[in-house]
């Protein structure tokens, strides 16, 4: 595509190139942040029958979101490099693109540590040189839970701090003089959920009785099917749905930043058209910019979808934990009564143990039957709420249908004419 006659304000073109460089670095920061936010500890999924599948599906979908961020990054970097190179060649002078990142909304500054870690503040492009790409080399931010007040749990920065330490949530809590530490407070605020808290309360209060009853019934050969503690409670009690939900909220927050990228690029592109006109190049760039803006919409929706699925998973696990706790409390009085009757009969050496043993086994079976009903309901949720599907190309599990695999950048039609130098002419007035 030829550019024909073109009129452009070089400084405005350089400013727009700066914005695209900034977007490329923001995309890289969001890529890095997604890897951090989506790193759900393996233990958080529990050891239920579907836990491994959910964890794999989550990781697979996260990889797709990361790939999309890389695509957006590379497109923005190439766009910036082309515009800056053309401006430098046209002006026959160095063009310095300042990187200020001042258009990041305060509500979305949770990922700024991943953005500023490289310290890159400007990119200089020389006339006659090759297009200059940003420097993506950076370290890994290490946010920590504050020593003082751990903060508002609804603040994204607080959620980031919690996520930075949640892999150690199963390590012993350190308390000073009996006081709850900041770390404890954070974990209990963001890590604990109603279902998990209730189930652990049941285990602390009554786990010993249930385990004792299960040992007796198993030793007598009266165990039938899965037992309450061994077959249901233990595998759910290891899960931390609060950790999953917290990280899902962070992934969902990335969606809002993609929306900001859309809004900023839309406004910047509209402003640029006031200083750039041509029969071909300006229109070609506008078409390209619109594809970039549309792709941000795709990334926004994809991140929101994954964050939503993570919250669905957390809610499903927490609901199962709560259901197990309720079943346990509903049956525990009867179970303890039957356990005491059996132990009394065993101590007396006079009565038959057959009837008390069968009654104890029946009490365990009744509790297990109700837990099985709850388990089946949760297992059904694995196929509905999380939209589990089989990927047709390799029969591997996939979190969602094909529309949630990594989406490519919309194909360009024709040549990127906005990068053609021939025929450019300065706008002197």
Q: Is 186 domain-assigned?
A: no
Look at residue 394 and tell me whether its pLDDT is greater than 60.
Answer: no
Give the pLDDT of residue 418. 65
Give the pLDDT of residue 138. 67
Give the pLDDT of residue 1. 34
Q: How many domains does the chain have?
A: 1
Q: Is 214 domain-assigned?
A: no
Look at residue 164 and tell me whether its pLDDT is greater than 50.
Answer: yes
pLDDT (tens digit per residue) in 239-249: 999 999 999 99
Look at residue 32 and tell me whether its pLDDT is greater than 80.
Answer: yes
Look at residue 160 and tell me whether its pLDDT is greater than 80.
Answer: yes
Give the pLDDT of residue 375. 76
Give the pLDDT of residue 385. 46
Look at residue 188 and tell me whether its pLDDT is greater than 50.
Answer: yes
Look at residue 370 and tell me whether its pLDDT is greater than 80.
Answer: yes
**Percentage of the chain with pLDDT > 90?**
42
Structural domain span for residue 327:
6-134+141-166+232-426
Q: Is 224 domain-assigned?
A: no
Give the pLDDT of residue 165. 82
Q: Is 115 domain-assigned?
A: yes
In this prediction, residue 150 has a pLDDT band, given cuts at 50, 70 and 90, of low
Look at residue 388 and tell me whether its pLDDT is greater than 90.
Answer: no
CB burial of residue 56 (10 Å; 0-12, 13-18, 19+): middle
pLDDT (tens digit per residue) in 342-367: 998 888 766 678 899 999 999 999 99
Q: How far apart are CA 322 and CA 201, in angstroms?
A: 11
Q: Is 172 domain-assigned?
A: no
Q: Is 174 domain-assigned?
A: no
**39 Cβ contact list (under 8 Å, min separation 6):** 163, 167, 247
Q: Is 335 domain-assigned?
A: yes
Look at residue 391 and tell me whether its pLDDT is greater than 60.
Answer: no
Q: What is the average per-residue pLDDT within 413-424?
A: 56
Give the pLDDT of residue 383. 54
| 42 vs 143 pLDDT, higher one | 42
Q: Tell me the pTM.
A: 0.85
Place of tokens 């604990």: 192
pLDDT (tens digit per residue) in 47-101: 988 899 889 989 999 999 999 999 999 999 999 998 898 888 888 889 899 888 8
**Percentage of the chain with pLDDT > 70?**
77
Pairing of strands 397-399, 424-426: unpaired
Give the pLDDT of residue 172. 54
Give the pLDDT of residue 89. 83
Give the pLDDT of residue 31. 94
Look at residue 3 and tell me whether its pLDDT is greater than 50.
Answer: no
Q: Is 121 domain-assigned?
A: yes
Look at residue 310 and tell me whether its pLDDT is greater than 80.
Answer: yes
């Amino acid at each position: 595509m030829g550019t024909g006659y073109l009129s452009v304000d070089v400084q405005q073109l350089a400013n727009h190139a700066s914005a695209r460089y900034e977007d490329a670095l923001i995309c890289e920061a969001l890529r890095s942040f997604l890897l951090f936010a989506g790193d759900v500890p393996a233990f958080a999924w529990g050891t239920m029958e579907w836990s491994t599948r959910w964890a794999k599906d989550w990781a697979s979908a996260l990889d797709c979101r990361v790939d999309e961020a890389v695509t957006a990054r590379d497109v923005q970097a190439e766009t910036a490099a082309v515009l800056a190179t053309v401006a430098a060649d046209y002006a026959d002078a160095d063009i310095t693109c300042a990187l200020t990142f001042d258009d990041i909304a305060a509500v979305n500054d949770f990922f700024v540590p991943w953005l500023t870690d490289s310290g890159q503040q400007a990119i200089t492009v020389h006339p006659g040189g090759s297009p200059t790409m940003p420097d993506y080399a950076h370290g890994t931010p290490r946010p920590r839970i504050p020593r003082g007040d751990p903060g508002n749990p609804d603040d994204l920065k607080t959620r980031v701090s919690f996520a930075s330490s949640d892999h150690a949530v199963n390590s012993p809590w350190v308390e000073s003089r009996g006081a709850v530490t900041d770390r404890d407070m954070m974990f209990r605020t963001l890590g604990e959920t109603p279902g998990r808290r209730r189930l652990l309360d049941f285990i602390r209060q009554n786990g010993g009785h249930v385990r004792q009853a299960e040992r007796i019934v198993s030793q007598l050969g009266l165990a039938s099917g899965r037992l309450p503690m061994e077959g249901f409670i233990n595998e759910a009690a290891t899960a931390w749905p609060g950790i999953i939900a917290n990280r899902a909220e962070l992934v969902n927050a990335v969606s809002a930043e993609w929306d900001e990228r859309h809004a900023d690029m839309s406004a910047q592109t509209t402003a640029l058209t006031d200083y750039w006109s041509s029969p071909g190049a300006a229109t070609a760039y506008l078409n390209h910019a619109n594809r970039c803006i549309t792709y941000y919409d795709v990334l926004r929706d994809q991140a929101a979808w994954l964050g939503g699925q993570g919250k669905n998973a957390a809610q499903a696990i927490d609901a199962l934990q709560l259901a197990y706790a309720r079943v346990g409390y509903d049956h525990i009085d009867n179970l303890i009564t039957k356990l005491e009757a059996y132990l009394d009969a065993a101590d007396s050496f006079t009565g038959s143990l057959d009837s008390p043993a069968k009654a104890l086994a029946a009490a365990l079976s009744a509790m297990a039957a109700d837990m099985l009903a709850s388990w089946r309901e949760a297992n059904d949720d694995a196929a509905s709420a999380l939209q589990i599907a089989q990927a047709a190309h390799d029969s591997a599990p996939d979190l969602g249908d094909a529309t949630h695999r990594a989406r490519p950048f919309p194909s360009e039609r024709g040549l990127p004419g906005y990068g053609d130098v021939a025929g450019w002419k300065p706008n002197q007035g």
